[in-house]
Amino acid sequence: MSTQSAPARLSRELIGALIVFALFAGLPILADAMGDTFVVFFTIRIMVFAIAAVSLSLILGYGAMVSFGHAAYLGLGAYCVAILAEHGIWDVTVSLPVTLAVCGLFALVTGAISLKTRGVYFIMITLAFGQMAYYTATSLSAYGGDDGLTMWGRTEILGSTALGDRTVFYYVVLGCLLTCYLLARMIVASRFGRVLQGAKQSEMRLRAIGIDPYAYRLIAYVIAGMMAGLAGALLANAAEFVSPAYMSWHRSGELIVMVVLGGLGSLLGAIVGAASFLVLEEVLSHFTEHWRLIFGPFLVLVVLFGRGGLISLLPGGRKNG
């Protein structure tokens, strides 16, 4: 995908990924030394949204599927965990498969319909399905409705409550992020990934050589939905609380912004984009309530002038997953 030779591409990419993950891995140690706990909580949040952004990047950056309802999977994953907990089911051996199955099924059904459309229609219909999930959540009066639902604890691992420990939880989230990133990288580089990226460039070309892109897009959509569902499950655990706000269309828009900010067509970019977005939001909102007024123009500048997104400024370089 670039004019550099493959080994050069690989090493540049490796450097970028190593830096990012080394920063994540080292952060709790640093924070402990400084006695700062907020940073750890905040970084957990960053990593959770980075998982969601990576999943969106997979379909948006590599498949040109502009899903405006991706936050629905975040919410769906969160509600799966919280509702199961409400019924006394805390163990990951149940909650994780249920979360992935529910999100995968929702993606399969809504994706099968949405992917019959293209362009603006696809954006609209994914938005509509997202809103449907949102309003369904608000009407779940047994589970808090509008007010959301508090989880009195965290997911257990074979009966162990180890996730209750902040540092353990941090590294579990980091492990999930690393797994999702590597999984997405592998998918992008596979035969499947090549079909996905080919279909983004010219659907007619793919049909002409005997490939119907529909099923490939649908499978990618389902994978992305399940990945975002995992992010949702982690988000519920991080906050020990879920609410319909997780699924609002603002949230879906923010996920798109994270991916574009970091650099379309780069999985590492999605992680950097999620981190930058949340840090900027946090910092700017300290100065002024109207932080969006500053953030909006900043975003426009990045999109206009930094065509490869923030990732193109990193040693990892642009367009290298």
Partner 1 sequence: MAEPILALDDLCKAYGALKVTSHVSLDVRPGEIHAVIGPNGAGKTTLIGQISGSLAPDSGRIRFDGRDVTALPMHARAHAGLLRSFQITEILPAFTARENVALALQAREGHSFRFWRNVSRDADLNARADACLAELGLEARAEVPAGTLSHGEKRALELAIAMACEPKLLLLDEPMAGTGREETDRLVEVLRALKGRYAMLLVEHDMSAVFALADRISVLVYGEIVATGTPEEIRDNPRVREAYLGEEAVA
The answer to whether 212 contacts partner 1 (rule: CB under 8 A) is: yes
User: Based on CB atoms, which residue is closest to partner 1, 44 or 64?
Assistant: 64
Residue 7 binds partner 1, judged by CB under 8 A = no
Cα distances (angstroms) measured from residue 165 to each of 40, 169, 179: 12, 6, 21
Which two structure tokens, joined as six digits, stand for 207?
Answer: 């049909």
Phi-psi region of 155 (alpha: psi -120 to 50; beta: other; left: phi over 0): beta
3-state secondary structure of 289: coil
Length of the chain: 321
Facing residues of 242 across strands?
A: 149
Residue 211 touching partner 1 (CB under 8 A): yes
For position 186 contacting partner 1 by CB under 8 A, the verdict is: yes
Q: Which stretch binds partner 1 (CB under 8 A): 29-37, 112-120, 121-129, 206-214?
A: 206-214
Stretch 59-98 residues interacting with partner 1 (CB under 8 A): none
The answer to whether 2 contacts partner 1 (rule: CB under 8 A) is yes
Q: Which C-beta is closer to partner 1: that of 164 or that of 198?
A: 198
How far does the chain reach from its first CA to its final CA, in angstroms? 10
Choices 42-50, 70-78, 152-160, 193-201; region in contact with partner 1 by CB under 8 A: 193-201
Q: How far apart are CA 254 and CA 252, in angstroms?
A: 5
- Tell the smallest beta-carbon distance from residue 214 to partner 1 (Å): 10
Q: Is 207 in the site for partner 1 (CB under 8 A)?
A: yes
Chain center to CA of 313: 22
Per CB under 8 A, does 205 bind partner 1? yes
Tell me how far, at minimum, the Cβ of 103 lies from partner 1, in Å.
18
